[in-house]
Structure 1
Amino acid sequence: MKFNGTLHRYNDHQVAFEYEPVGLPNALIMIGGMTDGLTTVPYLTNLPHVLEPLGYSVVQIQMKSSFIGWGTSSVKEDVTQIKQLIGYLKSEEGGNKKEIVIMGHSTGSQDVMQSLLSISDEIKAGILQASCSDRECFTLYASKEIRDDLNARAKKLLDEGKDDEILSREYMAYTNDTPVTAYRWCSVMLPEGDDDFFSTDLSDDALKQTFGKINKPFLVAYSEKDEFIPQDIDKHAVLKRWESISNPQFWSQNSGIVPGASHGVKQPASQEFLYEKVSAFFEEFNL
């Protein structure tokens, strides 16, 4: 499939792709999940045309963590690069964009959460799509005995100050053959690690430090048939709990479950529903 648009280099080593139509006054920055890179998120094909009437170009960021780079990176490093892209897009070279909304797919939702908590002055709003827990996803692929063993060994390296040490190859059986550091493994797989925003067993106090502190409008679009969420999790209850802890001034009333959607929202009907909710979110908050 061919994509038309403009490729931007926003720092010395990373690029971002602005889909046609380009040159609109504002930008939605799209952040992919683990193993994603430019153009890999399925619903990006038509999203630029959905947002065109609202004055937003769609710009997908490529970061150090894109494709298989996530295992040696961090959410905080991602946010540093997102901030660099925002600065570039607001410059003359980047198109003098006025307003910036960020949207994350899957693990990209963790970047959206961290951005809302740490650089909220830089952005107008955020969208979290397929914001599932990587820690809970791991339970689908490994027994508790295996998980406890792998986690304990990674945590030991962390406790010894060996955060950047690459874990042994056996870990790669659970990371799509991605090399992963002790830090990133623990960040993703241990309770209340730096990546652990969306696990359903987090305490209210933990959620108050994340959802409860968001001070910009945000939309949550949860995939109904997300294959990476354990089947015994009540998605409606999860959303209701997140909403109850969030500031009602900023929680979008368009948040909810995307009917029939897989993790990547590959289904055309589900994509159309997502587009409608995103458009309604922009109108709800006059973005």
Structure 2
Amino acid sequence: MKFNGTLHRYNDHHVAFEFEPTGLPNALIMIGGMTDGLTTVPYLANLPHVMEPLDYSVVQIQMKSSFIGWGTTSVKEDVEQIKQLIDYLKSSEGGNKNKIVIMGHSTGSQDVMQSLLSISDEVEAGILQASCSDRECFPLFASDDVVAELNSRAKKLLDEGKAEEMLPREFMAYTNNTPVTVYRWCSIMLPGGDDDFFSTDLPDDALTRTFGKISKPFLVAYSGADEFIPKEIDKPAVLKRWESFSNPKYWSKQSGVVAGASHGVKQPEAQKILYEKISQFFQEFSL
């Protein structure tokens, strides 16, 4: 598939792609998940046409964590690069964009959450799509014994002050052959890690510090047939709990389960539901 648009270099080493139609006054920054890079999120092809009537260009960011880089980075490092892109897009070179909204797919939702908690003054709003827990999906691909053993070994190395060391090769069998640091593994796989925003067993105080602290409008579009969410999880109940900790001034009424949507929302009918939620979200808050 061919994509037309403008490739921007927003710092010395990374780029962002502005899909046609380009040059609109505002920008929706799209942040992919683990292993994603430019154009890999399935529903991106038609999203620019959804955003055009709202005067938003769609700009996908490439970061150090894109493709297989996620194993050696952090959500905080991602946010630093997102901030660099925001600054660039607001400059004359980047098009003098007025309003910036950020949207994350999968692990990109963790970046959106961290951004809303740390650089909220830079954005108008955030969208979390397929915001599932990496920690809770790991047992779908490994036995409880394997999960316990690998987590124990990683935690021991973390406690020994070896956070930036690379984990042994056997860990890569569960990371799509991606090299992973001790820190990133523990951040994703251990309760309370820096990436652990969306696990359904988080205590109330954890949600108070995350959802409860968001001070900009946000939409949660939870994939209804997400293959990375254990089947026993009650998705509407999860959303209801997140909403209960959120300020009703900022929780979008469009938040909800996207019926029939896989993790990447590959289904055309599910994509239409997602696009409609996004459009109504922008209208709801006059973004």
**Aligned AA (1:24):** L
- Determine the structure 2 residue equivalent to 1:219: 219
Match status 1:8 vs 2:21: no
Q: Percent of aligned positions with the same letter in both sequences?
A: 80
Paired residues for 1:68-217 under 5 Å: 68-217=68-217
**Aligned AA (2:144):** K
CA displacement, residues 9-64 of structure 1 (integer Å, 9 cap, x when unaligned) = 00000000000000000000000000000000000001001010100000000000
CA displacement, residues 215-254 of structure 1 (integer Å, 9 cap, x when unaligned) = 0000000000000000000000000000011000000000
Query: How far off is 1:142 after superposition?
Result: 1.2
Query: How far off is 1:159 after superposition?
Result: 1.1
CA displacement, residues 66-119 of structure 1 (integer Å, 9 cap, x when unaligned) = 000000000000000000000000000000000000000000000000000000
- In the alignment of these two chains, the number of paired residues is 287
**Aligned AA (2:78):** D
**Aligned AA (1:56):** Y
Match status 1:60 vs 2:65: no
SS in structure 1 of the partner of residue 68 of structure 2: helix
**Aligned AA (2:230):** P
- Determine the structure 1 residue equivalent to 2:274: 274
- Determine the structure 1 residue equivalent to 2:241: 241
TM-score normalised by L of structure 1: 1.00
**Aligned AA (2:28):** L
Q: CA RMSD in A?
A: 0.4
Query: How far off is 1:269 after superposition?
Result: 0.4
SS in structure 1 of the partner of residue 60 of structure 2: strand
Query: How far off is 1:148 after superposition?
Result: 1.1
Between stretches 147-156 and 61-70, larger displacement belongs to 147-156
Counterpart CA distance in 2 for 1:156 and 1:68 is 25
Counterpart CA distance in 2 for 1:253 and 1:192 is 28
Counterpart CA distance in 2 for 1:105 and 1:27 is 16
Counterpart CA distance in 2 for 1:40 and 1:15 is 15
Counterpart CA distance in 2 for 1:64 and 1:222 is 26
SS in structure 2 of the partner of residue 8 of structure 1: strand
Counterpart CA distance in 2 for 1:159 and 1:95 is 46
SS in structure 1 of the partner of residue 140 of structure 2: coil
**Aligned AA (1:29):** I
Counterpart CA distance in 2 for 1:204 and 1:142 is 28
Counterpart CA distance in 2 for 1:224 and 1:66 is 25
SS in structure 1 of the partner of residue 22 of structure 2: coil
Counterpart CA distance in 1 for 2:4 and 2:97 is 20
- Determine the structure 1 residue equivalent to 2:260: 260
Counterpart CA distance in 1 for 2:105 and 2:227 is 14
Query: How far off is 1:260 after superposition?
Result: 0.5
Paired residues for 1:38-53 under 5 Å: 38-53=38-53
Counterpart CA distance in 1 for 2:158 and 2:121 is 33
Query: How far off is 1:154 after superposition?
Result: 0.7
Counterpart CA distance in 2 for 1:22 and 1:268 is 24
Runs of 4+ in 1 over 6 A off after TM superposition: none
Structure 2, unaligned runs of 5 or more: none
Query: How far off is 1:139 after superposition?
Result: 1.2
Query: How far off is 1:156 after superposition?
Result: 1.1
SS in structure 2 of the partner of residue 59 of structure 1: strand
**Aligned AA (1:47):** L
**Aligned AA (1:83):** K
Counterpart CA distance in 2 for 1:157 and 1:18 is 41
SS in structure 2 of the partner of residue 139 of structure 1: helix
